[in-house]
Amino acid sequence: MLVSAEHDPRRTGTIWALNLDEPSALITPRMPVTFGRCGSESAALLSEVMGCITPEAIIQRFEAGRQCYIAWAGNDLAAYAWVSFDEEFVSEFNLRIRLLPGEAYIWDCLTFPGFREHRLYSGLLAYVASQLREQELCRVWICTDGENVPSQRGIARAGFSHVADLIVSRVLAMRFVYVQGQPEIPDSLISETRRVFLDNRDNVWLSALSGVHG
Ligand SMILES: CC(C)(COP(=O)(O)OP(=O)(O)OC[C@H]1O[C@@H](n2cnc3c(N)ncnc32)[C@H](O)[C@@H]1OP(=O)(O)O)[C@@H](O)C(=O)NCCC(=O)NCCS
């Protein structure tokens, strides 16, 4: 089905993947930093620095099997990134993604303003990839807004490939969502992208207010 341009505005996400049988990018942050993984013992700290999320909600993330990776600059928490397995709700696009065993999805990443442009984000993503490889995962996904140039550059530097775009068109009270593969990416990987982001469908219609159903 075609959706005419008159139904815009459109929102575009960029979808990236990294096969973990490929070596990680080597990234040297431009400031002294220590990467690591934290757990529910850090819920209060994470709640304080992330804002708008309670320690209880952070603990729920950990109890649901999500992992949190952080960058320490001295005593300061400078950057963080969350990783999900199984499934995750992508709030920016109102989509629920579904993963197979062996796959992971990186989301809710941030470098605090005073620490930006020191390659902490790209370094943390590369670190997360190395840790997921040790956990014997095989592929990691990440998605970012089409207008978020710093995020896209950091993801690319960390070794991810831009596999597809997620196109979201508003049509009256509905949203029409589809995946548009990058030309050089094999069809098999584009199909995997549709499996993860659109539950194996070519496209989905969503209420403007809700996520993917079914
Ligand atoms: C996106 C974000 C995480 C980048 O963090 P960072 O630690 O500054 O990223 P890096 O230092 O690794 O920089 C990544 C790349 O983007 C570039 N970059 C960073 N900030 C930039 C800016 N404001 N304008 C243009 N390019 C920028 C860097 O030069 C680098 O490119 P290079 O490696 O080719 O030199 C950070 O800006 C942020 O937290 N933004 C708000 C939350 C967000 O967008 N999260 C990501 C959603 S998935």
pLDDT of residue 200: 87
Instruction: Provide the pLDDT confidence category of residue 1 given band limits of 50, 70 and 90.
Output: very low
> What is the distance in A from the centroid of ligand 1 to the CA of 148?
8
Pocket probe for ligand 1: among 52, 121, 149, the residue whose CB has the most ligand atoms within 8 Å is 121
How far apart (Å, rounded) are the C-alpha atoms in residues 167 and 13? 7
Which residue bears the tokens 């002294």? 32
Instruction: Provide the pLDDT confidence category of residue 8 given band limits of 50, 70 and 90.
Output: low
> What is the distance in A from the centroid of ligand 1 to the CA of 70?
16
Q: What is the 3-state secondary structure (H, E, C) of 19-52?
A: ECCCCCCCCCCCCCCEEEEECHHHHHHHHHHHCC
> What is the distance in A from the centroid of ligand 1 to the CA of 16?
16
Residue 212: pLDDT over 80: no
Nearest CA to ligand 1 atom 43: 110
pLDDT of residue 173: 79
Q: In what order do the strands lie in the sheet with 34-38?
A: 34-38, 67-73, 76-84, 103-111, 139-145, 10-19, 161-171, 174-181, 203-207
Q: How far apart are the first and last CA of the chain?
A: 20
Ligand 1 atom index nearest CA of 79: 7
The string of pLDDT tens digits covering residues 10-62 is 778 999 999 999 887 889 999 999 999 999 999 999 999 999 999 999 999 99
Instruction: Provide the pLDDT confidence category of residue 7 given band limits of 50, 70 and 90.
Output: low
> What is the distance in A from the centroid of ligand 1 to the CA of 31?
15
How far apart (Å, rounded) are the C-alpha atoms in residues 179 and 201? 9
- What is the mean predicted confidence (pLDDT) over 92-115? 95
Residue 2: pLDDT over 60: no
Kindly list the distances between the CA atom of residue 86 and the CA atoms of 80, 96, 183, in Å, as whole numbers in the listed order.
20, 11, 28
Kindly list the distances between the CA atom of residue 214 and the CA atoms of 98, 117, 200, in Å, as whole numbers in the listed order.
11, 40, 11
What lies within 8 Å, CB to CB, of 127 at 6+ separation is 35, 69
- What is the mean predicted confidence (pLDDT) over 73-91? 96
Tell me whether residue 201 is exposed, middle or buried, using C-beta atoms within 10 angstroms of its C-beta: 0 to 12, 13 to 18, 19 or more. Answer: middle
Q: Which residues line ligand 1 (CB under 6 A)?
A: 79, 109-111, 116-122, 144, 148-151, 153-154, 157
Instruction: Provide the pLDDT confidence category of residue 3 given band limits of 50, 70 and 90.
Output: very low
Whether the model clears a pTM of 0.95, i.e. scores above it, the answer is no
Q: Other C-beta atoms within 10 Å of 107: how many?
A: 19
The string of pLDDT tens digits covering residues 172-203 is 778 889 999 999 999 999 999 999 999 988 88
The string of pLDDT tens digits covering residues 106-163 is 999 999 999 999 999 999 999 999 999 999 999 999 999 999 999 999 999 999 999 9
User: Encoding tokens for residue 201?
Assistant: 């469908």
